[in-house]
Amino acid sequence: MNLGSILKAAHAADASDIHLVAGHPPVMRVHTVMTPMDFPVFTSESLSEIFHELASEGTRDIYEKQQDADFSYEVKGLGRYRVNAHSQRAALGITMRAIKSKVPPLADLNLPDVISRLTYLPRGLVLVTGDTGSGKSTTLAAMIQAMNERYRKHIITLEDPTEYTFQSHQCLIEQRELGQDMPSFASGLKHALRQDPDIILVGEMRDLDTTALAMTAAETGHLVLSTLHTVNASQTVERIIDMYPSGQQNQIRAMLADTLQAVVSQTLFSRTDVKGMVPAVEVLLCTPAVRNIVREGRTFEIPNVIETNRSMGMSSLDASIAELFFNGMISKDEAVAKAAYPDKLSKQLAA
């Protein structure tokens, strides 16, 4: 089976993901919907041939040892793919996430205006959070590109794997990929601090060492952008604190209160007015009141602070969802299904 034909068909359909599993035809995800493709069923042998085409010898060795391997793949004329090879039911499975070759402008992402303002921050920690496939990487790439076109600074990205590829414009941009250019996020971040950066993008704060180094970098005058798999601002703050032993948590609350600048939490919706996706976005900005809340461990108050500071650019997830619905961009059923408080939002949308 020809991999190029599969990828071209998926590209023409604007698929976000392609799934290759033995015993099934290729399946693509188009605007959240899984759709079988018009190709023959994969055998174990044909899928193994695809894997050898996709992966380097080193990646294949990693797969043999771990039964999982993450890597990137590029096709000229189509773009880049984030690839995961894995074992399921003792057989090979491959998932490919399409990465747009051109970084979209922030203005094209239907994000709140306040996100653009965050690219003017001189220092601190900005977190973009959400489930897998919620558009976090695209938002961060657009933010990096906005700064690339405006400043003359040094930007270092640490990614797993490299997704969007940047061309240095005003800024000098270096991109390091996990496994290829560094052994871990923590190692890459530790050494990045000695490489004279102004802005650091960390693909994910997935462990204590990476999180601690990210906060240290933000504390020492760098602008640090990163992600977490959390669904709202309160959960994001709690997740960071909970990474630390209980005896260190008060100290970390104080450090996070001083360094955190904003939490942006995204959820993607299928559009009903045109083809495509649109994000609902919760935004927490770290005002003095929010810093006191974080420092004193009163994160349960964050939703109320967001609701009462909408004039500053803060927004709750449900308020953002409601705005999308009233603008005719998403369906009521999906709006309610993804709301933080479904019953309350359902009543609001019916009013």
Considering only the C-alpha atoms of the chain, give the largest distance between any 2 of them, rounded to a whole number of Å. 60
Residue 17 pLDDT grade (very low, low, confident, very high; cuts 50, 70, 90): very high
Looking at residue 219, its pLDDT comes to 96
Looking at residue 32, its pLDDT comes to 84
Looking at residue 29, its pLDDT comes to 95
Kindly report the pTM of this predicted structure. 0.87
Looking at residue 272, its pLDDT comes to 95
The answer to whether the beta carbons of residues 300 and 234 sit under 8 Å apart is: yes
Looking at residue 118, its pLDDT comes to 98
Tell me the per-residue pLDDT of 168-180, one tens digit each, with 9 for 90 and over: 999 999 999 988 8
The answer to whether the beta carbons of residues 95 and 17 sit under 8 Å apart is: yes
Sign of CA dihedral 67, 68, 71, 74: positive
Tell me the per-residue pLDDT of 181-202, one tens digit each, with 9 for 90 and over: 999 999 999 999 999 999 999 9
Looking at residue 230, its pLDDT comes to 96
Looking at residue 338, its pLDDT comes to 96
Looking at residue 344, its pLDDT comes to 95
Domain boundaries, the chain: 3-99, 106-350
User: What is the Cα–Cα distance from 112 to 109, expressed in whole angstroms?
Assistant: 9
∠ CA 262-126-166 to the nearest 5 degrees? 140
Looking at residue 90, its pLDDT comes to 85
Instruction: Give me the chain's average pLDDT, please.
Output: 95
Average pLDDT over residues 110-115: 97
Same fold, 3-99 and 106-350: no
Please report how the helices 249-259 and 288-295 are oriented relative to each other, as an axis angle in degrees rounded to 10: 170
Residue 132 pLDDT grade (very low, low, confident, very high; cuts 50, 70, 90): confident
Residue 89 pLDDT grade (very low, low, confident, very high; cuts 50, 70, 90): confident
Kindly report the number of other CB atoms within 10 A of residue 344's CB atom.
Answer: 12
∠ CA 10-7-228 to the nearest 5 degrees? 75
CATH of domain 3-99: 3.30.450.90
Looking at residue 77, its pLDDT comes to 83
Q: Please report which residue ranges of the chain form alpha helices under DSSP H.
A: 3-12, 44-54, 57-66, 113-118, 136-150, 185-192, 208-219, 233-242, 249-259, 288-295, 302-308, 317-326, 332-337, 342-350
Is the N-terminal amide bond of 288 cis, ω within 30° of 0? no
User: What is the Cα–Cα distance from 3 to 320, expressed in whole angstroms?
Assistant: 40
Residue 1 pLDDT > 80 = no
Tell me the per-residue pLDDT of 218-257, one tens digit each, with 9 for 90 and over: 999 999 999 999 999 999 999 999 999 999 999 999 999 9
Residue 279 pLDDT grade (very low, low, confident, very high; cuts 50, 70, 90): very high
Share of the chain above pLDDT 70, in %: 100
Classify residue 193 by burial, with Cβ atoms within 10 Å: 0-12, 13-18, 19+. Answer: middle
Looking at residue 99, its pLDDT comes to 84
The answer to whether the beta carbons of residues 281 and 266 sit under 8 Å apart is: yes
Kindly report the number of other CB atoms within 10 A of residue 57's CB atom.
Answer: 8
Tell me the per-residue pLDDT of 30-84, one tens digit each, with 9 for 90 and over: 988 899 999 999 999 999 999 999 999 999 999 999 999 988 898 988 888 989 9
User: What is the Cα–Cα distance from 30 to 13, expressed in whole angstroms?
Assistant: 7
Token pair, residue 184, equals 């871990």
Residue 100 pLDDT > 80 = no
Looking at residue 87, its pLDDT comes to 94
Residue 348 pLDDT grade (very low, low, confident, very high; cuts 50, 70, 90): very high
* Beta carbons within 8 Å of 237's beta carbon, 6+ residues apart: 256, 260, 263, 294, 299, 302
- CATH entry, 106-350, from 3.40.640.10, 3.30.1490.100, 3.40.190.10, 3.40.50.300: 3.40.50.300
The answer to whether the beta carbons of residues 123 and 214 sit under 8 Å apart is: no
